[in-house]
Amino acid sequence: MKDTGMIRSLDSLGRIVIPSEIRGTRNIEIGDSLEFFVTDDGMLVMRKYKSTECAFCRTLDSVIYYKDQFVCASCLQQLKHAPAVPVQQSPAIEESSSKKRIRVSDMLPRLEQALIDHPEASQSEIAQMLGISQSRVSQLKKQLKYKA
């Protein structure tokens, strides 16, 4: 149990104001009902009252309690047969990462051409021309040799 540090006095009619911060975080609105509990060690606990009607159709017949909600048997049956809406996974992430890394098969001929066009260029100059790292150039060069 957490101490909110908030203290309120009862007025002359025995009423108490629930601090708006608590109403906000507990989702309690004006007009809502609250229910009181007394714990074994004498604490008074207050909770937003949830009626036992079905959260979907408001019936009170054959209602079960599930994950903080009341659901009637008929709505439960409908839920079971409701088509599951798949969460669409955006392909954007996959695409961008595959685009970033240019395939070796695309890069090899470009490197070959760069080496022919600039035979005097250093490995770092070649890397700059192709927009890849120096280590990538040396890797690709090895593949070129292997191919040749």
Position among 18, 46, 75, 108 found at the interface with Zn ion (CB under 5 A): 75
For Zn ion, the binding residues in 7-46 under the rule CB under 5 A are none
Q: Do residues 55 and 63 touch, judged by C-beta distance below 8 A? A: no
Binding of Zn ion by 57 (CB under 5 A): yes
Residue (52 or 88) nearer to Zn ion, CB: 52
Q: Do residues 49 and 34 touch, judged by C-beta distance below 8 A? A: yes
Phi, psi of 124 (to 5 degrees): -70, -30
Position among 28, 72, 126, 137 found at the interface with Zn ion (CB under 5 A): 72
Tokens encoding 67: 């994950």
Given the rule CB under 5 A, which residues bind Zn ion? 54, 56-57, 72, 75
